[in-house]
Each structure stands twice: as C-alpha cells, then as structure tokens.
C-alpha cells in the first residue's frame, strides 16, 4: 500500500517532533503534567516567599515531623475559626434577646411571645404571666383575645377532666373508701368549685358562640354527665351545689334548643339521626336527675320533636310555629336474670316509645353509659367505664317492634349481645311490658 506525498510529508514532520531525547523515545501527548513545584521554577521570587521560608520548619531539621506539624496547624486553624463563629453567635443572641421591659415599652405582644424563655414555661406559669400582663397593661387584652384560639370540645373536655381528677385526688380516704362528711367537704371544696365554675363558663361559651348546634349539644351532654358524677354529701346542704348546677345546665339546654329552632327558621336542616341523639341524651339526664330536665324536654318536644316523628310542624302567620301536646309516661321495672338484675325503662311520648335496657349500676357507672345510636350509620356507642363494652343490637329490635305495633320505637339495649338466652329474655320482657302499656 502506497502513501500520497502530502500524507508522507505530514508523517515525517510528526516523526521529527517526536525524536528520542537522552536515549528515550517520548511522545509529547504522553508526557505527564508539570506539578506546581516545577511550574514555580521559572517564576520570579517574591519577598514573601523568603519570609515564608524563614518561618517554615526545615525538612532537614532532625526534630521536624511533617505529618504531626501539619495536623497541629490544622487544629489551630479550626479552633480559631470556631472561637470566631461562637463570638459572632453570642453577639447576635445578645442583640436579639430583648428584655421584657423594652418589649412592653414598645407595646409589641408578638415580640414578647417570641422570646425563647416562653418555651420553657409550664401551662400554669404561662397563664399567670398572661393574666399579669393584662392586669398591668389593659391595652394588651384585645390583642391577646384576638390571637388566642377559641376553645374546642377536645381542649375543653381535657381541661374539665383534669379538674375532675384533681377533685378526686383531693379526697381523704378511709378503709371504706372516700369520705363524704363535713371534713371531706371542706377539704375538697376549692377543687369542687373550680370544676363547677368551669362547667358553667364553658356552657356559657358554647351557647353564645357561633358553633353549630351539634357542638353545643355535645358539650352540654358532656357537662351534664360530669355534673351527675359530683359527690353526694352526708350533709344535704352541701348537695345544693350540684342541684344549682343542674338548674343552670337546664337553662343552657333550653337556650341551645331555642337556638337550634331559630336556625331551622333560617333554613337549616337537621338529620333525624342527630335529633334522635339529642333527645336520648336529654331523656337520660332527666331520668338521672329525677325529672329536673322535664321543662327542657317539653321545649325540645314542641320545637324539634317533629323531626323524629313526635309531631308535625304547622305554619302560623309569618313565622313557623311548632306545637305538640306532649305527654310523657315513664315505666320502669327491674327483673332478675341468672341472679343478676336487668333494668327496663320505657318512656311513652305521644305514642312513640323510647326503650332503655341495662344493668343497674352505682352512680358513677350509670353516668358513664351512652345510649347506642338507632341508625347503623352512627358511630358505635361509647364504652362503659365500669363494665364491658356496650353492644348495640337496638336497630333490629326497634324495626321489628315498629312493624308489630305500627308506632315509632327508639331502642337502646345495653347488655351483652353474645348471650342469646339473655337477649331472648330481654325481648320477651319488652314485648310483655309493651302489651300492658299499649292496651291500657
């Protein structure tokens, strides 16, 4: 194979540029890059270089150890930088950490609460601090009220549970349990009044706020349960605290009923399931207090009862008028099953019936019972705090009773549903009671 003249000439020139040097054949493109020391050979020396050489240790010095000296220098540099950064941070923190007095003079509540020291305060200290600021600087109150979130059912229930726990813990105990004499009353009166006042204040809040009626009724149900758990004293005079609280709660219930009714006139609609739950809770509290809530029940039946079939609304003039001639009859009986008592309560309300079945409990256990819902879409009933979980087998029985008698039934069964013999006994007893009630 022959090469052209131009290609041959080019090859010779490349060959000439790659001639051997000192007996070695070296290609330019394979020569290693020059290091920094080699590149500095041709650079003009500066005076600073001489100074560095005089200060640097000599490698020829037998005491010089290059590795250790380099590490020592690195440590020194790092310590110096750390100290410098720490100094900067300290100055910045001191600048940002304004005193409370300066913040108050400037009148900035937001800056006051941004102080890191606030994060270390417990709840009691923080509340005292805010109250102290309001007392000393009344102009701060509107800003504080504007920034504090409104109480919720969860936060309120937690606060009340804490107060109730403090009350129970303050009781002097004997071998027979907590005492109910005058000494015990004086011992716990402070915690008792704190709990009562909190129940009233939160009831006022929920019945005057713009919360949906469901929230209001839920709180009132919770508050009434707590009121029913208050201790009974051997001195009847001390029990007036609980009775007066009941009367106040009745007023709040009636206020909530009136508010819910007014919202209907504005176009609001409540589901049958929700209203039924309100009615059951109200009936439960009326039974637990021996009829103290009868006025609230009568108002409820006349105002909201038509939603659950107790009456029909009529139109009178410009405003809706809800009217019903309400008649309440309560039938109660306790039967034994396997030597254990089972309580039956049938409330007759204008040919509609509310049936409650459960075991008689002591006061605390009775108040922890929440009646199961009649609708399958309702969340499951709350657990009994004393006995086993309640079983909701009410829906099917209520439907069968409605088909048999042609009337509305709200049934709440609070006994173990896995005991088929017990369930048969309960249903048979309910049927017998209803026959006597309806015939008479």
**Does residue 158 have a pLDDT over 60?**
yes
Q: Which of 335, 338, 334 is nearest to 419 (CA)?
A: 338
Q: pLDDT of 27-73, one tens digit each?
A: 444 444 444 444 444 555 555 444 444 444 544 454 445 445 555 55
Query: What are the domain boundaries of the chain?
Result: 100-142, 149-326, 329-439
Please state, as a whole number, how many other Cβ atoms lie within 10 Å of the Cβ of residue 141. Answer: 13
Asked whether the domain spanning 329-439 has the same topology as the one spanning 149-326, the reply is no
**Does residue 251 have a pLDDT over 90?**
yes
CA distance 74 to 234: 82
* CA dihedral for 208, 314, 410, 268, sign (positive or negative): negative
pLDDT score, position 27: 41
Alpha carbon separation from 207 to 44, 284, 347, 440 (Å, rounded): 91, 21, 28, 41
CA distance 268 to 358: 35
- Tell me what the mean pLDDT of segment 136-149 comes to: 86
**Does residue 223 have a pLDDT over 70?**
yes
Average pLDDT of the chain, as a whole number: 71
Q: Which of 385, 281, 268, 287 is nearest to 330 (CA)?
A: 287
DSSP letters for 193-248: HHHHHHHHHHHHHHHHS---HHHHHHHHHHHHHHHHTSPPPSSGGGGHHHHHHHHH
CA distance 424 to 426: 5
Q: pLDDT of 315-371, one tens digit each?
A: 333 333 333 344 567 788 888 888 888 888 887 766 678 788 887 643 333 333 333
Classified by CATH at the fold level, domain 149-326 comes out as Methane Monooxygenase Hydroxylase; Chain G, domain 1 (1.20.58)
Asked if residues 343 and 360 have their Cβ atoms less than 8 Å apart, the reply is: yes
**Does residue 132 have a pLDDT over 70?**
yes
Least trusted range by pLDDT, from 133-142, 276-285, 413-422: 413-422
Segment holding 353, helix H or strand E: strand 352-358
Helices and strands: H and E segment counts in the chain: 17, 8
Q: Which of 191, 226, 223, 194 is nearest to 206 (CA)?
A: 223
Confidence of residue 390 (pLDDT cuts 50, 70, 90): very low
Name residues whose C-beta falls within 8 Å of residue 185's C-beta, 6 or more positions apart in sequence. 233, 235, 238
Strands (E), 108-199: 173-174, 177-178
pTM of the model: 0.50
- Tell me what the mean pLDDT of segment 400-405 comes to: 82
Q: pLDDT of 287-317, one tens digit each?
A: 889 889 989 988 998 888 888 766 544 333 3
**Does residue 379 have a pLDDT over 60?**
no
Considering the segment(s) 329-439 as one domain, its CATH architecture is 2-Layer Sandwich (3.30)
Q: Which of 212, 213, 240, 245 is nearest to 228 (CA)?
A: 245
- Percent of the chain residues topping a pLDDT of 90: 23
């Amino acid at each position: 194979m022959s090469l052209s003249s131009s290609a041959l000439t080019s090859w010779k020139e490349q060959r000439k540029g790659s001639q051997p040097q000192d007996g070695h054949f070296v290609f330019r493109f394979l020569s290693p890059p020059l290091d920094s020391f080699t590149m500095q050979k041709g650079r003009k020396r500066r005076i600073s270089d001489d100074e560095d050489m005089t200060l640097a240790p000599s490698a020829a010095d037998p005491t010089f150890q290059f590795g250790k000296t380099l590490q020592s220098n690195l440590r020194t540099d790092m310590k110096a930088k750390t100290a410098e950064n720490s100094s900067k941070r300290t100055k910045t923190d001191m600048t940002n950490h304004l005193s409370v007095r300066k913040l108050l003079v400037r009148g900035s509540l937001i800056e006051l609460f941004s102080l890191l020291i606030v994060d270390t305060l417990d709840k009691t200290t923080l509340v005292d601090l805010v109250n102290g600021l309001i007392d000393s600087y009344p102009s701060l109150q509107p800003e504080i009220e504007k920034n504090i979130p409104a109480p919720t059912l969860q936060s309120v229930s937690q606060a009340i549970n804490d107060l109730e726990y403090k009350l129970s813990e303050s009781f002097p105990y004997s071998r027979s349990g907590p005492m109910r004499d005058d000494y015990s009353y004086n011992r716990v009166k402070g915690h008792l009044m704190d709990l009562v006042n909190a129940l009233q204040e939160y009831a006022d809040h929920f019945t005057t706020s713009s919360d949906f009626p469901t929230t209001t009724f839920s709180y009132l149900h919770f508050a009434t349960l707590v009121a029913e758990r208050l201790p009974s004293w051997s001195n009847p005079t001390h029990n007036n605290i609980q009775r007066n609280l009941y009367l106040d709660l009745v007023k709040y219930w009636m206020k909530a009923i009136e508010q819910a009714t007014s919202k209907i006139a504005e176009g609001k609609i409540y589901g049958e399931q929700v209203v039924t739950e309100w009615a059951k809770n109200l009936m439960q509290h009326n039974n637990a207090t021996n009829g103290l809530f009868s006025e609230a029940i009568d108002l409820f039946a006349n105002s909201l009862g038509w939603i659950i079939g107790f009456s029909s609304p009529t139109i009178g003039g410009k405003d809706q008028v809800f009217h019903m001639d309400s008649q309440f009859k309560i039938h109660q009986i306790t039967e034994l099953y396997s030597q254990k008592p089972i309580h039956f309560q049938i409330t007759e309300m204008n040919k509609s019936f509310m049936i409650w079945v459960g075991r008689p409990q002591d006061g605390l256990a009775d108040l922890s019972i929440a009646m199961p819902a009649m609708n399958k879409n309702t969340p499951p009933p709350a657990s009994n705090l004393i006995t086993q979980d309640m079983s909701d087998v009410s829906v099917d029985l209520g439907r069968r009773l409605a088909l048999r008698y042609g009337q509305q039934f709200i049934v709440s069964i609070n006994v173990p549903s896995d005991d088929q013999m017990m369930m048969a006994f309960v249903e048979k007893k309910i049927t017998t009671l209803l026959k006597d009630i309806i015939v008479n």
